[in-house]
Structure 1
């Protein structure tokens, strides 16, 4: 099917505040969708005199519905999109001298059972169970995901200790928050800033589901990140099969956006979930635009986590669906 793709091209580096307080061991995660929604809706505040409260209401009404963020790179007229590696993939462990090309996809073993609360789930196995390791690369391409959707593992891993396949570099810096109206540091005011520096013709991207306010037609720039750096907006159209339905009773749901799940693992609507392969929870936070202060921090099930289902499921998030949480695509089992 044809899908509209929103390209966000930073004109310079762009910085995002880490969700947690400063920690030298903290992993770097993408800014969440609400950050980008806030930047796009910010044009209503800057140019149409909409209040922060009015904008918050428009967000919750999902007047603009986009799926992402992902990363893209354009080269010779082609647009390559990168997705988080699905949690169902493993490969043979490598030594410093060998490069393993064989990649395995997890399958259900009904002889293995375990419970999360009162919910019984099946275990997962791989064709080979000894000396398994994670892939060297953290992201797969759209073409690789399209093959995985059809049930084929046609994925080429990068060699160990080689540069990443994604088109940006991250620098981490320390920020210090000052008490409002004072000259001294706020208690607990040390935090991390993640600076994204993209290669030329690359940036963040989103699939556009709906734009009732025509925001993406009216505005071609946004101010993004903690420093309000300028980024260009561009809409293109691509052909892809990843959003097609899989017409099998049993399938895999691969998460495209984070899911807020109160139990931490299984959504409330879990009747048809029969197995899971998820990444460890991430901490994210929102900026409260109405009160102009950081919002609450929360744990989410990260992008790339996978749920095996038998039958249909309505949602993979217990809250915040209006911010784009809990979106997924179906893969053949």
Structure 2
């Protein structure tokens, strides 16, 4: 399913033109997101499309949501898109366990973007043993991030049951009545739940494997290298422009011109979500996008120790930063 967003006239702070290519011709480009366009997780692309950042870099952008990380990988391999946002775990599984020609050109968020909403009845992972955690997709990115976080705390992931649930704030009723010990949502949805329910508690998974990345394939780099460079230039311009903002009122107004969802429609939570997101975009050195190889090595080590991927692989074979603005 396609979700093509309108292009506005305003320019985000810090945005300039200058991508690869020339003239006014726009090249079709498809971005695949395993997250819906109702979340701050997809802000760089939604905001960039609305403010013309992609058009300025010679791209006719289509934002396409897909059903999970596995489908994102399949569509990339089938040449149905040029780049996808995905979870690091799924990218490493595709590359190292399934021998797919996956490439990570850039990091999206250096911090885990998933939260687990609980109550005082079960606020800590040790309280979840023998109970059920709600997940948006069984064996999906959230589910795998939960497993990795449990292992890191020496809790057997098999001791915590999973149940497929919706992502809406109303799912909290299942936690309150004891059906679930908690459920997994995006960071902005967690803020909505906490604001609406005084008994809600938010747990932040700790595994570095929970970061989100941008993913493409070797074939896409060979066939669409210039377009990919333009995409990452536009994303960098959008992110750096928003990071430089003192407040996000103008950015919120721009997003509301096209989108409506709970965390965006609430002024307080929208501002808090922007603040949290802009922090997550920055690595230890303050840069956006550039992978921290030490962190990726650590994440790979966690996955090897958990027998999720085989040992003996080289992180360097998965990462290619040649598409990033130099």
Q: Is this a same-fold pair by TM over 0.5? A: no
The structure whose residues are more often helix, as a share, is 2
TM-score, normalized by length of structure 2?
0.26
TM-score, normalized by length of structure 1?
0.25
The structure whose residues are more often strand, as a share, is 1
